[in-house]
Amino acid sequence: MGFMKVLLVEDDASIAGAIVDSLDALGWDIAHETAGLPGLQRLQAEQWDVLLLDLGLPDIDGIEVTRRAREVGTFPIIVISARGDEGDRVLALELGADDYLVKPFGMRELLARIRAVHRRSAQSAESGKDTALAVGPLSVDQRARRAHLGERELELTPKEFEVLAYLAQDPGSAHRRETILQDVWDMNWYGSTKTLDAHVAALRKKLGDARWIESVRGVGFRLQEPR
């Protein structure tokens, strides 16, 4: 993998120093901010390949930074935090983080995670080219990351969009919960399927008809036009 542009938001000077040195040694472009608000400003001002984000920051919480960063763009976000409890993890991933690394971690581990999220995002950008998926009046444009039902644009969170796009790739087929979780969230994340249920419930509401996403007992979900 070639050159990457990485933004690090981390207030701990020794951790930040180690990360900056490691990425610098690879010849990557690494910028460092020590708080959430300046991090968000930097995020908006330039294009980034990956955001590395601490949660315990001096101004606003990293969870809030994750939420706002997702409004800025679709670049991969890796949370690096000493907070390893499931609540933070689930919340960060639901708000659109792509991976979650609990401190302390090794630099090789971090580099492997950066490469993995970057590869996945490059692949999805590539496979999303010229592919607007259509299921009856529902259209899902993966390149623009927009979904429409008839003329109406659906207001979806990033993860809701990804669940919908995943199901729309093969309408009428039953998709396993585990497979959806793995594909839409992260292969490293073995979270509860309650998260998926919550996203499906939200999607049904936004689609205006629960029959769009049918529950397949013991398996998972199927997307189809209600008849």
Instruction: Give the total of residues touching Ca ion (CB under 5 A).
Output: 3
Q: Find the farthest-apart pair of alpha carbons in the chain and give their distance in angstroms, rounded.
A: 59
**84 binding Ca ion? (CB under 5 A):** no
**Which stretch in 7-15, 99-107, 172-180, 181-189 sits in contact with Ca ion by CB under 5 A?**
7-15
Query: Are 98 and 74 within 8 A, CB to CB?
Result: no
- Which of 53/207 has CB closer to Ca ion? 53
Which parts of the chain fold into alpha helices (H)?
A: 13-25, 36-45, 62-72, 86-94, 107-127, 158-168, 177-184, 194-207
Q: Smallest gap, in angstroms, from Cβ of residue 56 to Ca ion? A: 4
Out of 5, 11, 59, 189, the residue judged to bind Ca ion by CB under 5 A: 11
Distance between CA atoms of residues 98 and 95, nearest Å: 9
Residue nearest to Ca ion (CB): 56
Q: Which of residues 52-81 bind Ca ion (CB under 5 A)?
A: 54, 56
Please give the DSSP secondary-structure letter assigned to residue 154.
P
Q: Smallest gap, in angstroms, from Cβ of residue 57 to Ca ion? A: 6
Give the binding site for Ca ion (CB under 5 A).
Answer: 11, 54, 56
